[in-house]
C-alpha cells in the first residue's frame, strides 16, 4: 500500500539528497579537487542522504508494537485500526518469547 506521504517523500528525499550532493560537489570543485574523487564523494553523499531520509520516512509512517518481555517487534504500515489492534494483541501475548542471552 502506497500512501500519499510515500508518493511525496521519495522524490523529496531524492531531491534533497541530490541538492546536498551537488553542494558538496561544488564546494570540492572550488578547492580544485579532481573530478573522479569529487564525483565519488558526491555520489556517496547522495546515497547516504537518500537512504537516511527514506528510512526516516518509513519509520515515521509506521506503527510499531513490541512485546514487553522479549525482543519481538511488529512494524506495520498502512494498517487500519482493527489490524493494528490485532497485531498489538499478538505482540503482547505471543506464545514463544524470544529471549536473548
Ligand atoms: Zn515476547
CA of 10 to the centre of ligand 1 (A): 34
Which residue blocks in the chain are alpha helix, DSSP H? 4-30, 35-60, 81-92
Domain span holding position 88? 63-92
| pLDDT surpasses 50 at 23 | yes
Q: Do 9 and 53 share a domain, yes or no?
A: yes
Q: Do 9 and 56 share a domain, yes or no?
A: yes
* Total number of domains constituting the chain: 2
Q: Do 48 and 31 share a domain, yes or no?
A: yes
Q: Which triple of cell numbers denotes residue 24? A: 558538496
In a domain, 51, yes or no: yes
**pTM of the predicted protein model:** 0.66
CA of 58 to the centre of ligand 1 (A): 24
| pLDDT surpasses 90 at 98 | no
Yes or no: say if 17 and 46 are a contact pair by the CB < 8 Å rule.
yes
Q: Do 47 and 10 share a domain, yes or no?
A: yes
Q: Do 56 and 8 share a domain, yes or no?
A: yes
In a domain, 56, yes or no: yes
Residues of 92-101 as b/e, b for ≥16 C-beta within 10 angstroms?
Answer: eeeeeeeeee
pLDDT tens figures, 37-69: 999 999 999 999 999 998 888 888 889 999 988
Handedness of CA 17, 20, 22, 24 (dihedral sign): negative
Report pLDDT for 8: 85
Amino acid at each position: 500500500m502506497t500512501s500519499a506521504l510515500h508518493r511525496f517523500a521519495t522524490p523529496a528525499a531524492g531531491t534533497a539528497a541530490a541538492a546536498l550532493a551537488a553542494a558538496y560537489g561544488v564546494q570540492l570543485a572550488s578547492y580544485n579537487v579532481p573530478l573522479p574523487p569529487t564525483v565519488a564523494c558526491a555520489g556517496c553523499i547522495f546515497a547516504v542522504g537518500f537512504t537516511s531520509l527514506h528510512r526516516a520516512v518509513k519509520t515515521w509512517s509506521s506503527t510499531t508494537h513490541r512485546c514487553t518481555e522479549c525482543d519481538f517487534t511488529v512494524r506495520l504500515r498502512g494498517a487500519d485500526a482493527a489490524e493494528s489492534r490485532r497485531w498489538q494483541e499478538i505482540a503482547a501475548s505471543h506464545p514463544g518469547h524470544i529471549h536473548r542471552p
